[in-house]
Amino acid sequence: MTTSPLRLMAVHAHPDDESSKGAATLARYVAEGVDVLVCTCTGGERGDVLNPAMDRPGVKEDIAEIRRKEMAEAAAILGVGHRWLGFADSGLPGEGEPLPEGCFALQDPAVAAEPLVAAVREFRPHVIVTYDESGGYPHPDHIMTNRVAAEAFEAAGDPDRYPGTGEPWQPLKLYYIVSFTREWFTAIQEGMLARGLSHPLADEVTDDWFEGMPELTTTTRVACDAYFGTRDRAIKAHATQVDPDGPWFATPRDLEREVWPTEDYQLARSLVETELPETDLFAGIR
C-alpha cells in the first residue's frame, strides 16, 4: 500500500489514441489528484486526413506538425503530461506491402523499449495501461506498442537492464485496454433502438466485424461517465483524425452514461494482491 501521490502511465501508438481509448479514465484520475503521463510512441506522420473539413491543400504535407499541435491541445484538455518517444509511424500498409524502412514496427522491441524504460524510471508510475498483444486491432504500431510496454514493465525495475536510463523503478500493475467489444456495441445499439434510434454503424458492425478481434477478459471497470464530455473534447482536438459529424459521435451521451458508464480493462500483470473484479486501476495499491 502506498500513501505517496499515485501515478498512472498510458502508452499509446499514435497521437489521438490516448483520446479514443481510455481517455475518460485518464480525466477521472487527473481530477482525483493522480499524476498521469501519456507516452506516444510515434508522431502519426503517416496518418491520413480523416476529417473532410480538414482535407485542405497543404494539410497532408504538414500532417506531422499539425498532429503535434493537436496532441498538445488534447493533453491540455485531459490534464495529462505527455512525452513523445520519437519513433517513425509505420503507417498501415496493404496486404503484402512492406513496412517503411526504419519505422517503429520494424524496431527490435528490446531497443525500442529503451526510451520508455527511461520514461518509467523518471515518472515512476504505479500503473501502466496499454494495448493487448493483438494491438486491439492489427495495426503494426499498436502491436509493437504492446511489446515495448510489456518489456518496459518487466525491465524498468531491474538495475542490470538498460543502464544509463535512470534509477530502477518497478511498476506494480499492467493493464490492457478493452474497447469496442461486441457486448459494448450491442448494449449501445439496443439502447438506441429502445429510443427509436439506430446507430449509423449498425449495418457495418456485424459478427464479421468482430472476427479475429481479441477476446479479452474484463477484470476492471472504471466508472468515468462524468468525464465522457472531456473525452469527446479531447478526441475532437485531433481534428485531422476525427469527423465531429461522423458515426462515432452518434450515440446520445446520456444514453451511453446509462447503458455503459465505464471504461474497461484486463489486468495483465500485478505485483500486488487484488480482488477481481475491480473498479479501480489502483486497487491493492492505495
Cα 37 off chain centre by: 12
Q: Is residue 139 a known part of a binding site? A: no
Strand boundaries in 104-171, DSSP class E: 127-130
| Distances in whole angstroms, Cα of residue 69 to Cα of each of 3, 25, 63, 75, 76 | 35, 22, 10, 10, 11
Q: Which amino acid is at 257?
A: R
Euclidean distance between CA atoms 241 and 237, whole angstroms = 9
Q: Is residue 238 a known part of a binding site? A: no
Euclidean distance between CA atoms 21 and 212, whole angstroms = 19
The cell numbers describing 128, all together, are 501502466
Q: Is residue 82 a known part of a binding site? A: no
Read out DSSP for 193-214?
HHTT---TTTTTSSGGGGTT--
Euclidean distance between CA atoms 27 and 11, whole angstroms = 15
In this structure, the strands spanning 173-178 and 127-130 are parallel
Angle at 54 between CA 48 and CA 56, to 5 degrees: 90
| Distances in whole angstroms, Cα of residue 185 to Cα of each of 181, 242, 248 | 6, 19, 11
CB 79 within 8 A of CB 86: no
Write out the binding residues.
Answer: 14, 17, 142
Task: Show binding-site residues for Zn(2+).
Answer: 14, 17, 142
